[in-house]
Amino acid sequence: MTAPANTREFNGLTIPTPGKFELDPAHTRVSFVARHMMVSKVRGGFTSASGSIVVAEDPLQSHVEVSIDAASIDTGVADRDGHLRSPDFLDVEKFPALTFKSTRVESASGNEFKVVGDLTIRDVTREVVLDVEFEGHAKSPWGQEVIGFAATTEIDREEFGITWNQALETGGVLVGKKVKIEIGAEGVRQG
């Protein structure tokens, strides 16, 4: 069986030919999970993210850049979202965007890759490793060439200067330090 048009083989995986893919905001979601009161998890996400993926001739030279609108944070609870936008957490007035810029791509196995890059939150930049699963390549009913992927990582929010917390009478703290980030995205080929 031959690969569809605009694809090629890489280590047994069918991937797109080189080119630039813009993130489709209608099919891209950046979500997070954090511990609350040491007994439950709060889930939320950002409703506005933009960026691009450039697939290089050598797939391991590909790169990605993403900007997330910090004020678009949404946990489904207006008061909590307001607190997360405040200087105690994201301080969206002073730091309106969270950004990620890849520095290298490493092949893991099959359709799994490690994408290493610089994550900037509140003007603090730290290297993070995204565990990325390439989910495929297709042509939409409207003739657009699209790629999809899922990615996860975990960060320590305190490393980005987000240190607000409150001690609990029963021991522990109100908000956990670790935040799991989950990304589902679709990119549309440009040009």
Query: Bridge-partner residues for 171, per DSSP?
Result: none
Q: What is the pLDDT of residues 67-100, one digit of tens each?
A: 999 999 999 989 989 989 999 889 999 999 999 9
Contact 50, 24 (CB under 8 A): no
This prediction has a pTM of 0.89
- The one-character DSSP state at 5 is T
Query: Bridge-partner residues for 19, per DSSP?
Result: 55
What average pLDDT score do residues 93-119 get? 94
Q: What is the pLDDT of residues 13-71, one digit of tens each?
A: 889 999 999 999 999 999 998 875 555 678 899 999 999 999 999 999 999 999 999 99
Query: Bridge-partner residues for 114, per DSSP?
Result: 106, 131
Query: In whole angstroms, what is the distance from residue 88 CA to residue 79 CA?
Result: 13
Confidence of residue 3 (pLDDT cuts 50, 70, 90): very low
Q: Which of 9-13, 55-59, 110-114 has the lowest mean pLDDT?
A: 9-13
The encoded tokens of residue 58 equal: 């050598």
Q: Is the pLDDT of residue 107 over 90?
A: no
